[in-house]
Amino acid sequence: MPQATTTRSGRMQPAGSRLIKFFFGEELPFVSHGRGVFVYDTDGRRYLDGCSGAVTANLGHSDPEILRALHEQAERITFAHRGTFHSEQSEALAERLGAMTGYPYVFLCNSGSEAVETALRLTLQYWRERGEPNRSQFASHAVSYHGATLGGLSLSGHPQRRRVAEALLHEFNELTPPYAYRFAEGRDDAEFTELLVNHTAEVLDAHGPAAAGVVVEPVGGAAGGAITPPDGYLQALAGLCRERGLPLIADEVMTGMGRTGMMLASQHWDVRPDLVVLGKGMGAGYAPVSAVLVSEEIIDAIAAGTASVTNGHTYGGNPLGSAVALAVLEAIESRGLVANAAERGKQLRAGLEALARRHEVIGEVRGLGLLQGLELVSDRVARSPGAPIGSLTRAATFAARDQGLLVYPATGGINNAILVAPPLTVTAEEIDLLLELLDASFTS
The footprint of ligand PLP (CB under 6 A) covers: 54, 111-113, 116, 145-147, 217, 221-222, 251, 253-254, 279
110 versus 441: smaller Cβ distance to ligand PLP: 110
- Asked whether 151 and 120 are in contact (CB, 8 A), the reply is yes
- Asked whether 421 and 344 are in contact (CB, 8 A), the reply is no
**Residue with CB nearest ligand PLP?**
112
148 versus 352: smaller Cβ distance to ligand PLP: 148
Smallest distance from ligand PLP to CB 223, Å: 8
Smallest distance from ligand PLP to CB 22, Å: 13
Among 289, 294, 101, 283, residue whose Cα is nearest residue 213:
294
Smallest distance from ligand PLP to CB 85, Å: 27
128 versus 146: smaller Cβ distance to ligand PLP: 146
Q: What's the burial of 96, exposed, middle or buried (CB within 10 Å: 0-12/13-18/19+)?
A: middle
Query: CA 331 to CA 310: how far, in whole Å?
Result: 33
28 versus 350: smaller Cβ distance to ligand PLP: 28
252 versus 430: smaller Cβ distance to ligand PLP: 252
Smallest distance from ligand PLP to CB 279, Å: 5
196 versus 254: smaller Cβ distance to ligand PLP: 254
Query: CA 344 to CA 357: how far, in whole Å?
Result: 20
Can you point out the beta strands (E) in 143-289?
211-216, 248-251, 275-278
H/E element holding 119? helix 112-129
Q: What's the burial of 174, exposed, middle or buried (CB within 10 Å: 0-12/13-18/19+)?
A: middle
Kindly give, in sequence order, each residue whose CB lies less than 8 Å from that of residue 361, ignoring residues fewer than 6 positions away.
Answer: 376, 377, 378, 392, 396, 442
Smallest distance from ligand PLP to CB 421, Å: 11
The residues facing 5 across adjacent strands are: 13
Query: CA 38 to CA 430: how far, in whole Å?
Result: 10
128 versus 141: smaller Cβ distance to ligand PLP: 141
Smallest distance from ligand PLP to CB 288, Å: 7
Helix ranges, 221-318 (H): 233-244, 296-304
CA pseudo-torsion sign 315, 319, 320, 322: positive
120 versus 246: smaller Cβ distance to ligand PLP: 120
Residue 122 identity? L
Smallest distance from ligand PLP to CB 217, Å: 5
Query: CA 57 to CA 87: how far, in whole Å?
Result: 25
Smallest distance from ligand PLP to CB 96, Å: 21
By three-state DSSP, how is residue 365 classified? strand
169 versus 387: smaller Cβ distance to ligand PLP: 169
Smallest distance from ligand PLP to CB 297, Å: 23
